[in-house]
């Protein structure tokens, strides 16, 4: 058996992550990002005339991930509290002696690690968005296909009134599309960090701001107007967007899991051979919905950690920024997993309109009680209408009780009662809402 080589190869981590996203989050990826930051710093210094070009070239050449061992750097990080210190020591040793004074010029460890985590997030989000786009497209197809497929809505755990599966899917679509928009904005706002020891860039002299701008440009990251060592809003924006995406996918998963219950049976997950039980041969568990829901439940704690860590002292924090590293990677790992699973779940979802109709009809028309009361209210008043219809709903047969009640029949004919009991007539603006959700999602994608 081959050893595990990435987060998604683990016994458990593969159930919460996605290989494409995790490949941008593992230790080799972080090492690559750290070295990319050091190389960009050397290039920026050369551009500004502070670093000799031959020295910058030597540093860039030395910033090749294959030269360094992430595990060894991790062990060495214990002495300084972060992996940048031993990495800079090794990069310095790897370049010719004339280039050594220019390694890590003007930077502090936090500059390199903050910038590397911005790179890590941006790269992971590139892979994540492909799956999120697929999930949004699949939700849109469900909403469009089932625009007029009637099912019963549930409120407070009980059957309530008719709606459409298209509107339910449109709700999923809107949540996913809004989360995608927020994530795009937050991802695009992850800046480079370059402030030096206390945020003044004193070691770079008057060229400091120019070097910082060039540093960000070489990395393809936005520049910051000033260092953000203890001003963590970019990370909070990203944490909130990732948490929102986990909530949006968790909503889809929860609905699917409930709709797939044996007693409901209105949808099933696709995928032959998935969802088996070790004990019960007949089981077909909604495993994607289950695993998405599990990840969504882990998200709030990670988001809370990042927000708690954001209140940081003075110019550089003692522990606050350190507390962000692993929760941020964990959040990216979880969102990578849920987007891929949501895309698969929604693309393969099997919808049973006949079962939806049967469940709606199971209460003998009681889910249309609101519709009957609405027709009766103009004649007898809202409260009286409500009480008359509630009394009929408590009878063994709802329609028969309506037809037998003289107070109701004084104002509603049998034909009018039957019209009120037609679920297709009590869908309100469901279709228009579906159309609006589809138009908004298509507009955002264009």
Separation CA 95–CA 99 (nearest Å): 6
Q: What angle do CA 175, 263, 277 make, to 5 degrees?
A: 85
Q: What is the 3-state secondary structure (H, E, C) of 293-358?
A: HHHHHHHHHHHHHHHHHCCCCCCCCCCCCHHHHHHHHHHHHHHHHHHHHHHHHHHHCEECHHHHHH
Separation CA 270–CA 345 (nearest Å): 7
Separation CA 216–CA 208 (nearest Å): 12
A 10 A CB-CB count for 396 gives: 7
8 Å CB contact between 55 and 99: yes
**Does residue 375 have an active-site annotation?**
no
Residue 155 DSSP SS3: strand
Segments of 175-333 assigned E as strands:
267-268
Residue 270: phi and psi, rounded to 5, are -80, 180
The residues pairing with 154 across neighbouring beta strands, listed in sequence order, are 159
Which residues make Cβ contacts (< 8 Å) with residue 350, sequence separation at least 6?
A: 267, 268, 269, 270
Separation CA 63–CA 66 (nearest Å): 9
* Alpha carbon 262 to chain centroid, angstroms: 29
187 secondary structure, DSSP code: H
Residue 285: phi and psi, rounded to 5, are -80, 145
Residue 154 DSSP SS3: strand
- Checking phi first, is residue 364 left (phi over 0); if not, alpha (psi -120 to 50) or beta? left
Q: Which of 235, 316, 341, 366 is catalytic?
A: 316
**Does residue 277 have an active-site annotation?**
yes
8 Å CB contact between 184 and 129: yes
The residues pairing with 351 across neighbouring beta strands, listed in sequence order, are 267
434 secondary structure, DSSP code: H
* Alpha carbon 8 to chain centroid, angstroms: 18
Q: Which of 4, 5, 277, 413 is catalytic?
A: 277
Residues annotated as catalytic (active site), given as ranges: 277, 316
């Amino acid at each position: 058996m081959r050893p595990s080589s990435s987060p998604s190869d683990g016994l458990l981590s593969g159930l919460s992550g996605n290989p494409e996203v995790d490949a941008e989050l593992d230790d080799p990826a972080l090492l690559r990002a750290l070295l990319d930051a050091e190389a960009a710093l050397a290039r920026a210094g050369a551009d500004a005339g502070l670093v000799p070009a031959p020295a910058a070239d030597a540093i860039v050449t030395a910033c090749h991930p294959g030269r360094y061992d992430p595990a060894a750097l991790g062990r060495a990080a214990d002495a300084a509290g972060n992996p940048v210190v031993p990495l800079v020591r090794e990069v310095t040793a790897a370049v010719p002696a004339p280039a050594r004074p220019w390694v890590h010029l003007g930077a502090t460890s936090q500059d390199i690690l903050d910038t590397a985590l911005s790179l890590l997030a941006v790269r992971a989000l590139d892979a994540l968005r492909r799956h999120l786009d697929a999930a949004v497209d699949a939700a849109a197809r469900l909403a469009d296909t089932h625009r007029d497929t009637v099912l019963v809505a549930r409120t407070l755990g009980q059957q309530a009134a008719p709606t459409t599966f298209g509107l339910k899917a449109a709700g999923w679509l809107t949540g996913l599309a809004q989360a995608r928009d927020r994530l795009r904005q937050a991802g695009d706002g992850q800046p480079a960090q370059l402030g030096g020891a206390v945020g003044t860039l004193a070691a770079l002299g008057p060229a400091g701001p120019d070097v910082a701008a060039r540093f960000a440009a070489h990395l393809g990251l936005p520049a910051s107007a000033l260092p953000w060592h203890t001003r963590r809003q970019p990370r909070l924006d990203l944490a909130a967007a990732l948490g929102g995406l986990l909530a949006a996918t968790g909503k889809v998963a929860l609905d699917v899991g409930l709709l797939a219950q044996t007693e409901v049976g209105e949808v099933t997950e696709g995928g032959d051979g998935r969802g088996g039980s070790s004990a019960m041969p007949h089981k077909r568990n909604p495993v994607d919905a289950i695993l998405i829901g599990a990840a969504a439940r882990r998200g709030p704690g990670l988001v809370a950690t990042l927000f708690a860590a954001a209140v940081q002292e003075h110019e550089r924090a003692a522990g606050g920024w350190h507390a962000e590293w692993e929760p941020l990677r964990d959040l990216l790992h979880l969102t990578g997993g849920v987007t891929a699973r949501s895309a698969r779940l929604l693309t393969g979802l099997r919808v049973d309109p006949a079962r939806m109709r049967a469940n709606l009809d199971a209460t003998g028309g009681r889910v249309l009680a609101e519709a009957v009361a609405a027709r009766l209210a103009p004649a007898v008043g809202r409260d009286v209408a409500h009480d008359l219809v509630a009394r009929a709903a408590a009878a063994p047969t709802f329609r028969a009780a309506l037809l037998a009640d003289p107070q109701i029949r004084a104002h509603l004919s049998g034909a009018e009662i039957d019209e009120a009991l037609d679920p297709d007539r009590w869908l309100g603006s469901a279709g228009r809402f579906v159309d609006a959700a589809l138009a908004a999602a298509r507009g955002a994608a264009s």
